[in-house]
Amino acid sequence: MVKTLVIKLCVFFLFVIWGCSNQSSIQQTDISDWSSIDSLSRNTTVHFMMWQGSPAVNKYINSYLIPEVKKRFNIDLQISGGQGPEIVQLLMGEKQADVRSGQVDMVWINGETFFQLRQIDGLWGPFADQLPNARYIDFDDPYIGIDFQQPINGMEAPWGNTQFALVYDSIKLPNPPRTLDELSQFVKNSPGTFTISNDFSGMSMLKSMLAELGGSPTSLNGPFEEQKYQTLSTQLWDWINSHNPYFWKKGETFPREHTKMDQMFASGELLISYGFNEGGIEDKVIQGLFPTSTRGYAWKNGTVHNSNYLGITYNSPNRTGALQVINFMLSPEAQLVKMDVNGMNSNTVLEIDRLPEEWREKFEQATQRQYGPTMKSLAPYSIQEPAPEYMLRLFEDFRKNVIEK
């Protein structure tokens, strides 16, 4: 009796294994023939993995994007939660297990993840510049066509556009610091109210400081240079370590992520916070987390300006569906709704001048932000995202030279 059971179990497991490996191979996709993509994509399901940490973003996806693609193309858009590291780990795992038909069709990524996915060949493409709505996008714009100093070459499609901004309360702090010298004065006058988060945002702040030490907004442009990094970063760690006693918790510890900084800014423990999406001010004021006197600004020598992108996974089982959804997300209509200051409030990647007359007017007449800075006001103070090696090294050395000291 035991024997039969064992045999039954073995057969069962064999079936499971066979079932896993017997996946349909993916058909070739020719983007130039959009009408066939259009018809192939209808009545399908697309799996989209994205960061779901913002209620405003989730609302845009759930109450606008999902119903619209259902209505227009009868596509069932399924969202699963996951950002950078989760996406990379998922695709690394699938690649390792040789999964030909993956769990996810499209992903929302930024330059950090793009760099990682390129290392593991996790993306399918090129596709971005061949989408019908790509004609409204200026791929020669260095803040769109170049991601972390690497040309995107059609491997990801820009979706949103953002600049790093510092956040302050204009009543408590009428003249926030804009340079390292001013920051030095500021932390000495108000000790314990500034810190650097040990995450993407904090490292972006460090990049601004590093570029200032380099002497110009373009000082970090181009490929990574060891010598330049050594010289500038040594100055940076010296600066930070000499000011550490005036940081939050006397610089003995640093917050793990900038959301924590936002909370401490809201409770008054910190006087300065920062982040992408021009500081993420508008929705936090509207939610009531930040006071209405909250404003944002850029570093005098510039803060990082970059785009976030949509990519298609190398093993996507439904490429045509993903192409259709991404193309719709880049349409003037979808981008206009995404810009709504009371909604997701994200800058468009479309070149307004290239749009048809009626859409141009709509974009120009869109309501302006009440609290957060506009991209236009920050534009003179923007720097390009430096090569990814700067980020790798800043993470490593910030831990070694500051946190563990």
Contacts to other proteins by CB under 8 A? 1-2, 5-6, 9, 85, 88-89, 92, 95-96, 112, 116, 119-120, 192, 198, 249, 252-256, 264, 267-269, 391-392, 395-396, 399, 403-404
Question: Long-range contacts of range 209-217, CB-CB < 8 Å, 24 or more positions apart?
Answer: 209/180, 209/236, 209/239, 210/236, 210/386, 210/390, 210/394, 211/301, 211/302, 211/383, 211/386, 212/179, 212/180, 212/299, 212/300, 212/301, 213/180, 213/239, 216/301, 217/301, 217/302, 217/381, 217/382, 217/383
* Strand 303-313, strand 157-163: pairing: antiparallel
In 3-state terms, what secondary structure has residue 76?
strand
Cβ closest to other proteins, residue 192 vs residue 343: 192
Q: Return the CA Rg of the chain.
A: 23
Minimum CB distance to other proteins, residue 200 (Å) = 9
Q: How far is the CB of 216 from other proteins (least distance, A)?
A: 26
> Which CB atom, from 132 or from 191, has the smaller least distance to other proteins?
191
Work out how close the CB of 284 gets to other proteins at its nearest, in angstroms, rounded to a whole number: 16
Q: Which residue's CB is nearer to other proteins, number 31 or number 90? A: 90
- Cβ distance to other proteins smaller for residue 59 or 249: 249
In the complex, least distance from residue 66 CB atom to other proteins, rounded to whole angstroms: 29
For the chain, the farthest-separated pair of C-alpha atoms sits apart, in whole angstroms, at 83
The residue behind tokens 């920050």 is 378
Least distance CB 183 / other proteins (angstroms): 19
DSSP 281-301: HHHHHHHTSS-TTEEEE--TT
CB 305, min distance to other proteins, A: 20
Nearer of residues 255 and 321 to other proteins, judged by Cβ: 255
Q: Which two tokens stand for residue 207?
A: 């990049």
As measured in angstroms, the least distance from the Cβ of 228 to other proteins is: 20
CB of residue 316 vs other proteins: minimum separation in angstroms? 18
Residue 265 or 299: the one with the smaller Cβ distance to other proteins is 265
User: CB-wise, 6 or 171, nearer to other proteins?
Assistant: 6
The residue among 173 and 341 lying less far from other proteins, judged by its C-beta, is 173
> Residues 115-121: contacts with CB within 8 Å, 24+ apart?
115/147, 115/148, 115/150, 115/388, 116/84, 116/88, 117/87, 117/88, 117/91, 117/311, 118/150, 118/155, 120/88, 120/91, 120/92, 120/95, 121/95, 121/314
Task: Between 30 and 396, name the residue whose CB sits nearer to other proteins.
Answer: 396
CB 49 to other proteins: min, Å: 15
Q: CA geometry: angle at 355 spanning 150 and 52, to 5°? A: 55
Angle at CA of residue 36, ends 30 and 40, nearest 5° = 100
Q: Residue 88 or residue 272: which is nearer to other proteins going by CB? A: 88
Nearest Cα to Cα of residue 363 among 373, 375, 372, 371: 375
Smallest distance, Å, CB 270 to other proteins? Answer: 10
Q: How many helices (H) and strands (E) does the chain have?
A: 17, 12
